[in-house]
Amino acid sequence: MKAHTQETQAAITPQKALELLKEGNQRFLDSKKADRDLLEQVNDTSNGQYPFATVLSCIDSRVSSELIFDQGIGDIFSARIAGNFVNEDILGSMEFACKLAGTKLVVVLGHTSCGAVKGACDDAKLGNLTALLEKITPAVNAVTEPTDSSLRNSKNIEFVDNVAKKNVLLNIERIMKESDVLADMQNNGEIMIIGGMYDINSGAVTFYE
């Protein structure tokens, strides 16, 4: 499999970009990785890169976007931060990826049993991590069930996963609200911005379309 060129990137629609990620995740699940020479792709991309998607995911060691979507060198931009939330720097990176580098899809990817989400659910305090977890607190507050405070913590994995999903959706809202560049591109059909959830037990990604 060759690296993407300017021509192949231009031919990919936002919907096609999503299909490529779905197909890649299915190959990952089936243990049927695409036949690609990564060093050849290094050479192919030495004078330019033409990725088709941008994925914002958690730093979790189990959730490497290139692996779970079976992608190679130059295929996707991958932004990673604990709790997969957006801030000014990540928004700027996404604007570069889409407006200047031509990607057609933005995915905010959460995952089950997320440690950062668990920390936010428990209102954990630890150095600079404290401020990071506060970025996820709006998602914790937005999940209203259960009401029993004894069940609103990291021991309740169903609650944790519901917060993780809400965190994805709130960050998509934030992208649309805080980035006129990306919002305009989506409204014009140039890109698609969606969420997804990676299941650490199965390896499957569910997209919120």
- Looking at the whole model, is its pTM more than 0.85? yes
Q: What is the pLDDT of residues 152-203, one digit of tens each?
A: 999 999 999 999 999 999 999 999 999 999 999 999 999 999 999 999 999 9
DSSP 192: E
Structure tokens at 142: 């937005």
Angle at 186 between CA 175 and CA 208, to 5 degrees: 70
- 121 a known binding residue? no
Ramachandran assignment for 136, one of left (phi > 0), alpha (psi -120 to 50 degrees), beta (any other): alpha
- In CATH, what number is assigned to the domain containing residue 128? 3.40.1050.10
Instruction: Read off the DSSP letter of residue 107.
Output: E
> Is residue 109 within 8 Å of residue 205, measured between CB atoms?
yes
Determine, yes or no, domain membership for 1. Answer: no
Q: State yes or no: 4 annotated in a binding site.
A: no
Specify if 124 maps to a domain.
yes
Q: Which pair of tokens denotes residue 72?
A: 């190679």
> What is the residue range of 118's domain?
6-208
Residue 113 lies in a domain: yes
Q: Indicate the residue type of 35.
A: D
Q: To 10 degrees, the CA torsion angle through 43, 19, 25, 109?
A: 90
114 annotated ligand-binding residue: yes
Number of domains in the chain: 1
Could you read off the pLDDT of 77-111 as tens digits, one per residue?
999 999 999 999 999 999 999 999 999 999 999 99
